[in-house]
């Protein structure tokens, strides 16, 4: 297990493609669209095209380290409109913005060994950029804080609305996601990720089928 994130394995299999790649796999006897890699700005449009080019699709399998939060939400809406089930297969990990793509499935499977991994979103992960803004003085600092607060509130509201529309418990946000540390600091607790257990995935209706 990961010493810093004890609910998760040391190594997460979430694909390293710099932009999400969509490939058709028929090896299981089903027509599966594999969605693997980082979630980039135009992922929703490329997903729509992949669904059209490879129709019909029986399931969408997800393996991703996340990426652009709002793009993940938009891709999740594309999946919901398609009515296609989503799955995190055993050994695969779906993190951050990938969560919202996955939750777009009207029917959602997290297989044994599959990992639905959450964290607290942050707009200040680039510490060097923040330090540069702080060095500009009080006015720039106040402006930065104001921008961060405003966009964080908007994104939190969008996430809340998304979960309601997808039939996922909003407690996933308040009891799990928003309780994670946004960034590592000097404290002994360095955990910034949480891997849901199978029971938690069912409790919050993240997985609604087995």
- Looking from the CA of 134 toward its CB, the CA atoms found within 13 Å total 7
Examine the pLDDT at 126 and tell me if it is beyond 50. Answer: no
- Looking from the CA of 108 toward its CB, the CA atoms found within 13 Å total 28
**195-206 as b/e: b if 16+ CB within 10 A:** bbeeebbebbbb
Burial of 130 (0-12, 13-18, 19+ CB in 10 A): middle
Is 64 among the domain residues? yes
Is 208 among the domain residues? no
Is 199 among the domain residues? yes
Q: Average of pLDDT values for 165-178? A: 92
Is 62 among the domain residues? yes
Is 6 among the domain residues? no
Q: Average of pLDDT values for 64-77? A: 94
Q: Are 34 and 57 in contact (CB under 8 A)?
A: no
Examine the pLDDT at 131 and tell me if it is beyond 90. Answer: no
Look at residue 89 and give its three-state secondary structure.
Answer: coil
Q: Average of pLDDT values for 37-54? A: 97
Confidence of residue 130 (pLDDT cuts 50, 70, 90): very low
Residues 6+ apart with CB under 8 A from 123: 147, 148, 151, 152
Tell me how many domains the chain contains: 1
Examine the pLDDT at 187 and tell me if it is beyond 80. Answer: no
Among the residue ranges 8-12, 36-40, 130-134, the one predicted with the least confidence is 130-134
List the CATH number of the domain containing 39: 3.90.226.10
Write down the residue that tokens 């693997």 correspond to.
36
Domain that holds residue 77: 21-203
Q: Are strands 93-95 and 108-110 parallel, antiparallel or unpaired?
A: unpaired
How far does CA 82 lie from the centroid of its chain? 19
Q: What is the dihedral of CA 179, 62, 75, 152, to 10 degrees?
A: 20
Write down the residue that tokens 């009515």 correspond to.
83
Confidence of residue 124 (pLDDT cuts 50, 70, 90): very low
Q: How far apart are CA 67 and CA 44, in angstroms?
A: 13
Write down the residue that tokens 């529309």 correspond to.
165
Is 8 among the domain residues? no
**136-162 as b/e: b if 16+ CB within 10 A:** eeeeeeeebeeeeeeeeeeeeeebeeb
Examine the pLDDT at 52 and tell me if it is beyond 90. Answer: yes
Q: Average of pLDDT values for 173-183? A: 82
């Amino acid at each position: 297990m990961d010493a810093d994130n004890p609910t998760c394995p040391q190594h997460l299999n979430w694909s390293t493609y710099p932009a999400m790649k969509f490939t058709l796999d028929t090896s299981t006897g089903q027509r599966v669209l594999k969605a693997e890699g980082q979630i980039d700005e135009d992922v929703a449009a490329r997903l729509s095209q992949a669904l059209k080019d490879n129709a019909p699709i029986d399931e969408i399998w997800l393996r991703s380290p996340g990426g652009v939060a709002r793009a993940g939400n938009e891709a999740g809406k594309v999946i919901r409109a398609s009515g296609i089930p989503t799955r995190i297969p055993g050994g695969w990990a779906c993190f951050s913005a990938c969560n919202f793509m996955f939750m777009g499935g009207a029917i959602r499977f997290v297989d044994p060994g599959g990992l639905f991994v959450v964290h607290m979103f942050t707009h200040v992960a680039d510490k060097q950029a923040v330090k540069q803004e702080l060095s500009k003085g009080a006015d720039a600092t106040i402006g930065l804080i104001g921008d961060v607060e405003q966009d964080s509130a908007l994104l939190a509201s969008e996430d809340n609305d998304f979960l309601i529309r997808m039939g996922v418990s909003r407690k996933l946000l308040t009891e799990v996601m928003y309780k994670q540390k946004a960034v590592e600091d000097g404290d002994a607790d360095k955990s910034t990720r949480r891997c849901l257990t199978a029971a938690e995935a069912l409790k919050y209706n993240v997985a609604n089928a087995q």
